[in-house]
Amino acid sequence: MKKIKALIYAALGIMMSMSAARQENYLMAAGIGFFVACAIAITLTSIGRLQITWDELGVTLSKKPKPPILLQWADMQKLKVDHLGYHIQTRQTNFRISKDKMPKELLKKIRNSIRANKQTTL
């Protein structure tokens, strides 16, 4: 979806800068080109940044350039699902994983750990 959005920005930017260049307003065409390039860069920067790994300690979220965060299985509290993906609430933080990127094994393990944590708090 982000690649499509960037493609639409590029098409609109090219049309607008060509229109400004035809009117011999080259400074405006350059400005439009610069802002379109910035919009495309901002749109595409987040693709492929989140890396998720898990082991017996918990889930490790690595979002470049930030340091990785370890979320332990004992800290898992809630799991919600909506059109954006899976929202997992822990004692430390909240994080979201899209539906298409969530591995089935990880989802089962998160659900089991949330159930186990609810039983221990009762």
* pLDDT by 10-residue block (mean), the chain, 122 residues: 92 96 96 96 82 88 84 90 90 85 88 87 66
pLDDT of amino acid 13 = 95
pLDDT of amino acid 2 = 85
Contacts of range 57-65, beta carbons closer than 8 Å, 24 or more positions apart: 59/106, 59/110, 61/95
Contact 76, 90 (CB under 8 A): yes
pLDDT of amino acid 119 = 81
pLDDT of amino acid 122 = 64
CA gap 20, 39 in Å, rounded:
19
- The model carries a pTM of 0.60
pLDDT of amino acid 11 = 96
